[in-house]
Amino acid sequence: MNITWLGHSAFRLETARSTILIDPFFTGNPGFQGNDRKDAVKGVTHILLTHGHGDHVGDTAAIAKETGATVLANADLAGWLGHHHGLDRIEQGNTGGTVSFGDFSATFVNALHSSASITSDGVSHSLGSANGLMLHFEDEPDLLHMGDTDIFSDMALINELHRPEIGLVPIGDRFTMGGAVAALACRRFFSFAKVIPCHYGSFPIIDQTADTFLEAMEEDAANVVVPKSGETVEV
């Protein structure tokens, strides 16, 4: 599997049969500047969303219409995307549920966060629960995108149920757990073989580097990969 960090919480995952975008926030994302949007969306088959905030839904509607990709989101967000953006290739689920896509499946797991969107007319829309996404692959390492979240003790149960080998972990503080707490979550509740931090280095009000996270990971820092935005990691 090739994993490309595209700034903030956006990732591109490439497997033998699928090309997946998670939380494709490109337009207005300072962390995406310098990346090639054409390359980022090339061949995309699926778009997966952790929750309804604009810095995660991002360019979903435009990319889905351009590529014909199937969009997966919680039921409230999926309905909103269909009604307000005219998307019709949508799969919906909710916390605890699993949706299968042939060579991989996606399970909605808990995250401690909010999920809403304010449209151009100033109306706030509640867009369901915030989630993490647990991806199980036929021939690739299993991967957890935590979404936006704080630490919580039931992360241990997520690990017991799913045994993710790769963790995409928010570390930027203010809107998610900060680096030290994120490191505690990884070390106490998971046994990741590889960790890629995210949700930092984009907006100036969140942490700009992964330094605090790396320091707090202590001896487990050897399992952490800190790519530059646009850089691909092979796992």
Q: Is residue 92 part of a domain?
A: yes
Burial class of residue 131, CB neighbours in 10 A (0-12, 13-18, 19+) = buried
Domain that holds residue 220: 2-228
Q: Is residue 234 part of a domain?
A: no
Structure confidence by residue, pLDDT tens digits, 4-42: 999 999 999 999 999 999 999 999 999 998 899 999 999
Q: Is residue 235 part of a domain?
A: no
Q: Residue 14 is encoded by which pair of tokens?
A: 């490439």
**Beta-bridge partner residues of 170:** 198
CA dist 93 and 72 (Å) reads: 8
Q: At what angle do helices 179-189 and 155-162 cross, to 10 degrees?
A: 50
Each residue's pLDDT tens digit in the chain (235 positions)?
A: 999 999 999 999 999 999 999 999 999 999 998 899 999 999 999 999 999 999 999 999 999 999 999 999 999 999 999 998 999 999 999 999 999 999 999 999 999 999 987 766 677 778 999 999 999 999 999 999 999 999 999 999 999 999 999 999 999 999 999 999 999 999 999 999 999 999 999 999 999 999 999 999 999 999 999 999 999 999 9
CA dist 77 and 197 (Å) reads: 25
Q: What is the pTM of this model?
A: 0.97
Q: Where residue 102 sits, what CATH number does that domain have?
A: 3.60.15.10
* Total of domains in the chain: 1
Structure confidence by residue, pLDDT tens digits, 190-201: 999 999 999 999
Is the distance from CB of 12 to CB of 20 less than 8 angstroms?
yes
Q: Does residue 192 come out as left (phi exceeding 0), alpha (psi in the -120 to 50 range) or beta?
A: beta
Q: Is residue 105 part of a domain?
A: yes
